[in-house]
Amino acid sequence: MLLHPYGLMLAVQDPAVDRVHVAGAMGLLLVQLAVLASAVVAKYDWRISRRPVTGWLAMTLSFLAAQHVPFALLAVQGSAEGRYGYVLGVTQLPSSMVVLTMVALAMRSTRLPVRNPLAAGLLLGGLVAVARFALINSGLDPTLRLTHVAGLAVVSLVSVALAGIVVVLVRSSALPAWARARLVVFTACVLVSRALSTGHDHGVPSPLAVAVAVLGAIAVASATTALLRQTISENSRRLVNLSHRAASAEMNVRHGQEKMHELHATVAGVAQASRLLIQNGGPTGPQRTRLESLLDAEMRRLERMLTRRGEQSVGDVCLDDVLLPLVETQRTLGNDVRYPLSGLYAAGRPDDIAEAVHILLSNAARHAPGAPVTITTTRCSDTIEIRVSDDGPGIPAGLRSILFEWGARSATSPGQGIGLQLAKRLMTEQSGNLTLESEGRPGGATFVLSIPASPPGLT
């Protein structure tokens, strides 16, 4: 693409046009625009990564492009005697020293003194371009030729400065080796192409000088583009890693909230049973035995909840043994809970079944205070269904579709919207389910826990 002006000039039929000169000038203009584009790419790399080295690279490249683009435009217009061509002049000496300084600061990862390196480089390069234009027009920066002593001296001094840039690049580790190698190629091509143009009559760029300049532009453009692509890839990996860490943190937070939700309701029942046992000497006879048995069962479940949750294996569970302590706990709290013994066995984890039913009973006590709650268990083929029904106000229609999602609750609910989601998860983890029964009752709410039944004949 950078060499296409030569193809265009071959189609020009006007013999008065120096087609090689115009094509070369246009090619060098495109080279400078490519360097400017590389500066823009480096600037965006710096914006993403905040690496000082790419910020300095953006400033250096924009500095070079800004001081040469105006002269490349003048060369395309065919300025007299090639005074504004792609040639070496006296002003290249301080310019080369500025570039050497920028490269050294970049390779040392020195912090940028500006907020916008691209704009700073363009401003500095523009000032150099204005100074060179004034010097050329005043005769203080004449067109040099390699056959003159002044020309050889300028080329030698600029070569020393550019050699210093190469040394700094090679000895640094601020950039990957492949990026430094491409920048070295760019630096060498800048010197060679300028020297070839300077030695040509009237500063007319030869095809070889243009080809070398194009090679340098390709090297620097590929370096900055690859650096940006690498930065974007690394940033994407960091974002994925942060996403995974955030998801893990959210899971840990949810697990903690679920644990606190479980503990709150269980501790409330234990505390009430303890108070009943110690108030005024406590009850005697069967009632005391029942409370002590309840307290012992709930304390053991609480201990397993704190230390070994998830270690219980799926096995045959007597539902009466699991549900009766929960019913007694609710009764000690003053709630009217009715449960006819069933003698049924299910295949599951007793603590998880207990926790799911406990959540439903706690919700009924919170949202339907004073309303009686009935627990019934029935066997349907290979499934045991545990129904928890209350005579409260029921579930709002707008909440039914999201009832089992995390955080789902009505605006007036005192809860956090955790319990039902937790209960459903505990049931599905043991091949069961939790649903809201929407038909068959005129009011209140009925939740159905489904869990695989134990083999028939088990007693």
Dist CA 89 CA 128 (whole Å): 12
Q: Residue 9: pLDDT above 70?
A: no
Query: 288 or 34, which is more confident?
Result: 34
Looking up tokens 């869990």 gives 451
3-state DSSP assignment of residue 385: strand
Q: Residue 182: pLDDT above 90?
A: yes
Q: What per-residue string of b and e applies to 205-215 under the rule 16 or more CB within 10 Å gives b?
A: bbeebbbbbbb
> Do the strands 345-348 and 433-437 form a parallel or antiparallel pair, or are they unpaired?
unpaired
- What dihedral do alpha carbons 146, 149, 155, 161 form, nearest 10°? 170
Dist CA 402 CA 336 (whole Å): 28
> Do the strands 337-338 and 383-390 form a parallel or antiparallel pair, or are they unpaired?
unpaired
The CATH number that domain 315-452 falls under is 3.30.565.10
Under 8 Å between Cβ of 419 and 359: yes
Structure tokens at 117: 């390196």
Cα-atom radius of gyration of the chain, to the nearest Å?
A: 41
Query: 267 or 335, which is more confident?
Result: 335
Q: Which residues have a Cβ under 8 Å from the Cβ of 59 and sit 6 or more positions away?
A: 39, 102, 112, 114, 117, 118, 120, 121, 124
CA 331, chain centre distance (Å): 51
What confidence tier does 398 reach under pLDDT thresholds 50, 70, 90? confident
CA 125, chain centre distance (Å): 37
Dist CA 141 CA 132 (whole Å): 7
Structure tokens at 440: 């068959």
Looking up tokens 């190698």 gives 181
Dist CA 423 CA 432 (whole Å): 11
Dist CA 74 CA 63 (whole Å): 18
Look at the alpha carbons of 127, 130, 133, 138 in this order and tell me if their dihedral is positive or negative: negative
Dist CA 23 CA 246 (whole Å): 57
Dist CA 20 CA 206 (whole Å): 8
For 147, list phi and psi in degrees, rounded to 5: -80, -10
Distance set, CA 47 to CA 53, 248, 416, 448 (Å): 12, 29, 42, 56
Q: Residue 209: pLDDT above 50?
A: yes
Q: Render pLDDT for 101-152 as a digit per residue (tens, 0 to 9).
A: 888 888 888 898 888 999 999 999 999 888 888 877 776 655 555 445 555 6
Q: What are the structural domain ranges in the chain?
A: 4-242, 315-452
- In total, the chain counts a number of residues equal to 459
Closest CA to 304 of 368, 349, 237: 349
Task: Provide, rounded to the nearest whole percent, the portion of the chain with pLDDT above 90.
Answer: 20
DSSP H or E segment with residue 264: helix 207-278
pTM: 0.59
DSSP H or E segment with residue 450: strand 445-452
Under 8 Å between Cβ of 220 and 186: yes
Highest-pLDDT range among 71-85, 284-298, 445-459: 445-459
3-state DSSP assignment of residue 107: helix
Query: 173 or 140, which is more confident?
Result: 173
